[in-house]
Structure formats: structure tokens, C-alpha cells
Amino acid sequence: MNDRVSRRRFVRLSGGAAAAASLGAPGLVRAAVDDTRLVARHVNVLIVGAGLSGLMAGRELQRRGVDSFLVLEASNRVGGRTLNMPIGGGHVVEVGGEWIGPGQDSIATLIDELGIGAFDAYYGGDTTYDIEGVISRGLLPDASFSELADFTKVAWQLDRLCKKMPVGEPWRMAGAAELDRMTLGDWLRQHASTSFTPSVFRLITRAVWSGYPERISLLWVLHYLRAAGGLLPVILNEGGAQEQRIVGGSQVISERMATDLGDRVLLGRPALRIEDHAPDRMRVVTPVETFTADRVIVAMAPSDTVRIDFAPALPKPRAELASGWARLPRLPLVKAALLYKTPFWRADGLNGAMQSDRGAVQLVFDNSPDDASMGVLSCFLSVVESPQFADRTTREEGLREELARYFGPKALDATGYVEKDWSTDPWSTGCITPLTPGILTAGGEHLRKPSGRIFWAGTESAKRWCGYMDGAISAGARAANEVHASLKA
């Protein structure tokens, strides 16, 4: 804490930060900006957001010898969209970002540097599918030869199309505007010849983008797949993005980075306003202190930046990108875990994974600890699709019953329950984004194009694995390198 802030005043200001955290802050902007008694500190670089991306930006600045920086985090913890919850026995379960897979080199390098291990997620056994109301078990869903052949053909065509895109620059793809006017649903209508194929894509878009094919821009889907290396790396469990888990839970990555950065990470400091201050300085106002800096890195989803008051206003395409992102018709996501004495489904030849195109639960995964000393089934669901699960109590009860449909009556005997409803998080507008037509071609270039002395990080700005933890890390490093180059210049 700055020693010019008296203890009494700190208590009052911290209360302001807490209120900002619970109220979503905008009402406090004017009062904080007008409060000329707020203490100002100057650093070379201010990083706003202590998720993986912001912390990685700090780590990279430090590696490059830039020592004068601070990371401002709105909430009272680091990690953003990664969050560990204790489940007893010294174990945690992740209720945010969790899996990593081959080709995610940024996160692989980082965890190696931090001395954090990874282990294979459990997929030994049959997967359960609930497609078009039919529950089946196996390596693939129960479908006729012609249905499987149709899906394979369409998946291959989509993959081939995405490979025509320059990685990370969808707006430069030939015919980008037209591809961004279409939805994935429009494209599927032109290419699929069974109802099974759109149903499987509905399952995929619910899981990957929290939305439906009829709403999602085709260009956005292609960009996302291209950034991951194609459709298979995204949808495969083994050999794809869901292959491995982080020892100790993914939030430890942020916690370790924050420990290394020490008192440069300030919690409870929501940036309310970012403004040009002097000819060559920026000012960042929080309810606790104000800061000035030569450069600012904003490390969060575009939709989260709409809560910050920028002065002067951001370039129109960047502002519209953020507001378009914030208005997306996404399915608000709950990630919940039911705890069991044992992973009982394994003895029945099941791997605990379930995927559905229209069931109340979108996805289930076996999230048991590596030593299988207890059983954990993690579920993804949206209360918009399942209003019967609108409150936590009915949700816990209803989930047991849903899981019993897939894994038998033993699923009713859960010994515990934890969840995170991301739609109520005051600082995150969610993770997986079903970008609607028009947004990407109108403002996509501004995803990572600096706005004056403001530089953009956050997984959404990544060229590779955007939307994933890996993308958050590479985007943080990229923004730090841009800032470093700009300071030298």
C-alpha cells in the first residue's frame, strides 16, 4: 500500500473498491475521477486485469528488463476466468478454464518454467452421447453409416475452408465480408444432407462457443478453428484441447505468476477510467488510487472493457467491437461439479464424458483427482436453456437426476456439490463467445491494434488458440513486447 494513504483512508477506499466490485463500478466513476485527494503513482506500464494474460504481460515485461509496472485487478483474486474450488482431501476442482492439449505451446512452456505439472484427463471407456433425444454410448454416437459419412464430409469441408484463412487475421481472408454475413447454420444448410450433421454441430457450438449455429458468424467459427489448427484439435478429447489437466488446478498458474510479481499486483483496483493525462502520459483511475503511466495494457475480453470509461473515446471500430461483443446472445454458463465417493462410472466401462445437442446439460466430464481417491463429474449448463435449474438448490438436485439418466442411479448419491455461475461474475462477461455476423469484419482488426498508448491483451486478441488459456498467455506476451518496443522507440 502507498504509505501516503493513511490507514483510516485506506479502509474507506477499500470499501469503495469492494462496493465497485459488487456493484459493477460505473456509478463510482465520476466520484472517483472528481476525488482529487486520491493519491497518484507513476509507473512505465500499467496492466489492467490479472488473469493469465495480464500476469503474463507483467512476466514478459520483467523478462525484458522493464521493472516499473503494476498489474491492477478489479476483484480480490488473480486468475480471472480460471478458478479453483476446494473439494476436500486437499483436492480442487476447476470451475473455469481447465484443459490443455497438444499444440498449446505457450501454456506448455509457461507451466514448465513455473514447475507446474500436467496429467492426462481420464478418457478410458465409452463416451455417452445424447443427440436428437437418443442416448448412446461408444467411441462415436449411435448413427447410421450415411449420417456418419455426411458429418465427416461436412467437417472436412469446414476444415478445408478454415485452412484458407491467414492465421489470426480473418478480415484478410478472401470473401471475408460474405463469410461474416453468414452464420454457421446458413452454411450447414448448404452443405449437410442429414439432420444428424447440424445436430452434432449444435452439440459442438453449445460446447465450444456457448451458442447455436444459427447465430454464430461463419467467419468467426473459421477464425477460431484456424487459430487452434482445425476442427479436430478443438473437438477431440484425447489428442485435442481437452487432453490434459493441470496439477493443482489451472488457477495455480496465475497464482504462481502473481507470487513472482510480488507487490506489483494490486487487488481490489477496478480501473474505472483510462484517460490521456499529459501529452505523453495516461491516467488510470480506480476507487482506491489513481495511477499515471507511459503505456497501458488492457488484458481482458473486449466485452469487459465496456465498463471502463475511456477518454478520449476509443476509435469507433474498437468501441463498436467491444459493445458488439458485450451484446452477444451467449448462453450464460454455469460450470458445476458433483462429488462422489468413487468414480463409479469407470467400473461400468464409461469415461464419464457426456455430450448433448439439446439436453439440459451440455457437457459432462470426469474431473476426478488423478489418484481417483474420489469421483467428480463436472457439468456445463445454461439456465437459459434449462430454466428449471434457475436457482442453485434446484440445480444441484436436478443435476443429480440428469446425471442418473446418463450414468445410472449411483449418480443420485453425490456427497457434495460446487459451482460457479459465470453470468453473475461482476468482472467477467463470460468466456466462450458466439460472435454474431458483422462484428469481426467491422472491428476485428482492432482486437490487437493499439489505440494510441493503450495496448490490448486478453485471449480474444490472440492469433493462436484464441478463447483458450494458451491464447491468453501468448496475447499477454505479445502485448508486453509491443509495449517494450514502443517504450524504446
Return residues touching ligand FAD (CB under 6 A).
48-54, 72-75, 80-82, 96-99, 270-271, 299-301, 304, 307-308, 333, 335, 422, 427-428, 431, 458-459, 467-470, 472
∠ CA(203), CA(246), CA(429), 5° rounding?
A: 50
**Beta sheet of 350-356, edge-to-edge order:** 134-138, 126-131, 350-356, 361-366, 375-382, 333-340, 416-421
The residue (of 434 and 458) whose beta carbon lies closer to ligand FAD is 458
The residue (of 173 and 277) whose beta carbon lies closer to ligand FAD is 277
The residue (of 80 and 198) whose beta carbon lies closer to ligand FAD is 80
Shortest Cβ 54–ligand FAD spacing (Å): 6
Shortest Cβ 74–ligand FAD spacing (Å): 4
∠ CA(301), CA(304), CA(306), 5° rounding?
A: 125
The residue (of 81 and 202) whose beta carbon lies closer to ligand FAD is 81
In DSSP notation, 373-439 reads SSEEEEEEEETTT-GGG-SHHHHHHHHHHHHHHHH-GGGG---EEEEEEGGG-TT---S---PPTTH
The residue (of 59 and 81) whose beta carbon lies closer to ligand FAD is 81
All three cell numbers of 281, joined, read 502520459
Residues sharing a CB contact under 8 Å with residue 188, sequence separation 6 or more, in sequence order: 154, 197, 198, 201, 213
The residue (of 478 and 484) whose beta carbon lies closer to ligand FAD is 478
The residue (of 99 and 171) whose beta carbon lies closer to ligand FAD is 99
Shortest Cβ 118–ligand FAD spacing (Å): 12
Shortest Cβ 64–ligand FAD spacing (Å): 19
Shortest Cβ 192–ligand FAD spacing (Å): 27
The span from the CA of 414 to the CA of 409, in Å, is 10
Shortest Cβ 343–ligand FAD spacing (Å): 19
Helices of type H across 278-391: 316-326
Q: Are 121 and 366 in contact (CB under 8 A)?
A: yes
Shortest Cβ 147–ligand FAD spacing (Å): 28
The residue (of 209 and 407) whose beta carbon lies closer to ligand FAD is 209
Shortest Cβ 73–ligand FAD spacing (Å): 5
SS3 label, residue 56? helix
Q: Are 227 and 103 in contact (CB under 8 A)?
A: no
Q: Are 236 and 34 in contact (CB under 8 A)?
A: no
